[in-house]
Amino acid sequence: MWMPINNQYVKHIKTGRTGFATQGEGDLLVVAFRDVGVLDPEIIRIPKDEVTFITLPELKGPVIKALIRGEEDLYSATDSVCFLGDIAHTNKYRMKPSDILYGIKTLLIGTDIDRTASYLFVVASIGMQILPNRTEGSDFDDRDILDHIITRLNNLLGEILKYGAKSNIDSVKAFLTDVEKELTSYIKNGEISSSVYKSFLSKTTPDDACREGNDYMIKYKSALEMLCKEKDAMAMEYRGYCYYTGNAMYEQDFVKSEKDLSEVYSMTGSPSVANSLGYIYYYGRCNNGEPQYGEAFRFFSVGHAGNMTESTYKLGDMFARGLSVAPNGDIAMNLYWSVYNYCFSEIRREWFDSKFADVALRMGNCYMKGTGCDIDYETAYSYYLQAEFAIKKRISDSDQYGDNVVYKAVKKALKEARKQYRKHGDKALFIAPQWVYWLGLGERSSVLRLAPMPDGSVLIEGRLLPSRKDNDVLPKIMVVIPQADYCALKSKLFIRTAPKSSFEIYGNSEKIVYNNVTYDEMTGVTTFLLDGIPAGRITTEYFTVSAPSPSDTDVFRGKKYRFVSVCFEGSDRKYDYLCDDKDVKAGDKVWVVTSSGDTEVSVTDVFDRYEDELNMPLNQYKKARKIR
């Protein structure tokens, strides 16, 4: 209710009142006037020719200061307009803790809800623009305190707006009194409350804090440590994850990670924390590499109950291998399948930080080994292609902890599967119309457009139609053609029938809209139904879906790239770099980029590798340049 749509401030010509136009209704404007009350503005429909559009005057420093100190209220400072203009470019005023403390004390002398709302509106609207400059170094300063106080007051404003004039004045006074005490303790004694540290930590993740510069990182760590001493669950969880992965603030230490996370779990019962503890015990992180499967099963069970997808597929791993539980392939497959379906919905909406790659890899393993299903190398290879597609997207999009391990496992699985699955080709052929499952059935409607071709075949364009579940993100169609080594997300699916096919569309329509399909094997007729009513049919011997033709690429191995191996001074370890220069040979000097900048090194080896053979995604390799 506070901000006008498109900043359309208007002045009523007859009365001189200023309001804002919230929407238009033909020749009328719906205008809200707040001069009668901030909480309950007067809403009037006014002909457009009875108003003029205006720009509010800029607020000058003395006025802003008076508003923050409560020495002038929104009504008097704006001549009862009750709207704030832009802050003047010449304004040099910066809020001080003592100014906002003065304003809150002024409020508490005779608090009424409307006046409190108008003051909080001022703070919420311009407070962040007039914060003091940050002091040098890593100590908490006035800016941090005021940032926190403004956030608290903004939350109070939200509560008052929720209940309006019916807000409980006593609870509002209690809230403001608590803010007053917090500011007074800081101004008089330099005391920083725990809530300031929490507010600071909540704005940035530990990994992002490490990227913000040394001073910021030191400040972040000091807040983390201060709250950990107070046994704050959020801080201990953050620190536990820092120890788990290792970063610029904390070296990797699984023993310390387990200690922090165990305490957090005992306090909160958090499924995500249980999931992390499950990993620690599954891999024996704190037990000299000796797995503690009993504990892992316990914590993964909690994570699974709390809808943690990683815990669910890790439980599947334990049932598949019989770790601390009797082996049961059916249970393993059921657990994998539940995660796959959930993550498949995510990947189709291009949410690439999903765990789809991890579970698609496991589905492929089930079909390779016959775990909970019959061995089927084509289906296994299809799942591996999906996993490869997803992990490449995830690394490019978010680069999560452990992604390279998953990437290597997927590439190894593909390589092994190719030994069993040797079918080559550029298209998938379907006797029954299995391609409809790529579009989906039941959960939504799909639309087909059909065009007859000169050879008697029919070209079909398939698309998904929006549903209420989409939330403005229409899912894509995942097309997988294992014999062509192809997996991709598409907005449209193109299918072609066999020659000498026919089709019918019912209801005088040019397209088939359907959400279910039946197939008659004897006649080769596929009938498309919408809510049980036939919408059209296609008669054909088979359907085909073609993959795009590869360019400069071996279908089964990927493009070939040239690499050089180098050794740095004082180390025998070899590092591989991409090198486009065909003249480089063993013994040559090249430039490579390191944390110290360009570094001169000697080439020990030159070799070619297919993309399929790479140990990391291609975009993670740095390049070597020959020294001329």
Residue-level pLDDT at 4: 40
DSSP state of 618: G
Could you give the CA distance from residue 227 to residue 194 in angstroms, rounded to a whole number?
Answer: 7
Residue-level pLDDT at 612: 62
Which residues, other chains included, contact 425 with Cβ-Cβ below 8 Å and sequence gap of 6+?
483, 484
C-alpha dihedral (468, 469, 474, 477), degrees to nearest 10: -120
pLDDT 10s digits, 124-160 = 999 999 999 988 888 999 999 999 999 999 999 999 9
Could you give the CA distance from residue 380 to residue 374 in angstroms, rounded to a whole number?
Answer: 11
Could you give the CA distance from residue 544 to residue 490 in angstroms, rounded to a whole number?
Answer: 16
Could you give the CA distance from residue 387 to residue 378 in angstroms, rounded to a whole number?
Answer: 14
Could you give the CA distance from residue 201 to residue 212 in angstroms, rounded to a whole number?
Answer: 13
Is 143 within 8 Å of 96 (Cβ atoms)? no
Give, rounded to a whole angstrom, the gap between the first and last alpha carbons of the chain: 66
Residues of the chain scoring pLDDT < 50: 1-6, 551-556
Residue-level pLDDT at 425: 86
H helices present in 164-270, as ranges: 169-189, 194-202, 206-209, 214-229, 233-245, 254-268
Residue-level pLDDT at 557: 52
Residue-level pLDDT at 554: 42
Residue-level pLDDT at 132: 95
| Residue among 409, 375, 374, 373 at smallest CA distance from 390 | 409
**CB atoms closer than 10 angstroms to residue 516:** 16
Question: The domain 202-420 belongs to what CATH superfamily?
Answer: Tetratricopeptide repeat domain (1.25.40.10)
H helices present in 22-111, as ranges: 61-68, 74-77, 97-109
User: How do the domains of the chain map onto residue ranges?
Assistant: 5-33+42-51, 61-192, 202-420, 427-546, 560-626
Sign of CA dihedral 597, 603, 608, 614: negative
